[in-house]
Amino acid sequence: MRNAATLLYALTLSLAMAMPGYAQTALEGDFAKVKMETFDKEKFVFPEDMNAELINLVFLGMSNDQDNGQLQQEQLLDWHAALEERGVFNDQVKAYHFPAMNSPPFFVKGIIRGAMAESYEGKVPLNQSGVMYLDDLDEFAGSAGLTVDDRPTIVIADGDGKPLKLFKGAMTPAKVDALVVEIDRLTAI
């Protein structure tokens, strides 16, 4: 039975990796500390306040372009819905959604946060999502071994918030399968 599971894992991963835009990479580095406010208006310190028992799934929409940032947000919500349908989320595996951008002028931050909160309401826990306003988006990404591009980013982090694996790109069934297999592997250890 173990050989069949190993074969299934290898096959699923091979199929997913053949998909355009797919990336699964081991990460080196750590997330930079960011003080922020969640969409339910509570203070949150990233990554310290993430509190899954084993796996924190970090959904990052990182872009310097508003239209692409909105596209990444929609794609990450598609990922979330597909993973929720698969029953991935529980106390051991929690999802955190953080659109990340270079900090705009202070007087528009609230407007942006409010508009984004409406987009997430009813789809993800508002206490596990919020906008990261950063002094330097590229520096933030680089600290964890990430890059800012036009594709959504999902990072598997351990229970302490240490980045482990990177998945990039829009959701497809094969990519969801590969991510679920990796989550299952990490939670079985």
Q: Is domain 2-188 in CATH 3.30.300.30, yes or no?
A: no
Residues 6+ apart with CB under 8 A from 162: 30
Give kind and range of the element (H or E) at residue 97.
Answer: strand 93-102
Q: Closest Cα to residue 58, out of 121, 144, 123? A: 144
What is the Cα–Cα distance from 48 to 143, expressed in whole angstroms?
15
Q: Closest Cα to residue 166, out of 95, 60, 69? A: 60
The predicted-structure confidence for 102-160, as pLDDT tens digits, reads as follows: 998 888 898 899 889 999 999 999 999 999 999 999 999 999 999 999 999 999 999 99
Give kind and range of the element (H or E) at residue 48.
Answer: none
CB 155 within 8 Å of CB 27: yes
The predicted-structure confidence for 59-84, as pLDDT tens digits, reads as follows: 999 998 989 999 999 999 999 999 99
Sort 178 into a burial class: Cβ within 10 Å, 0-12 / 13-18 / 19+: buried
- Residue in the block written with tokens 């990450």: 76
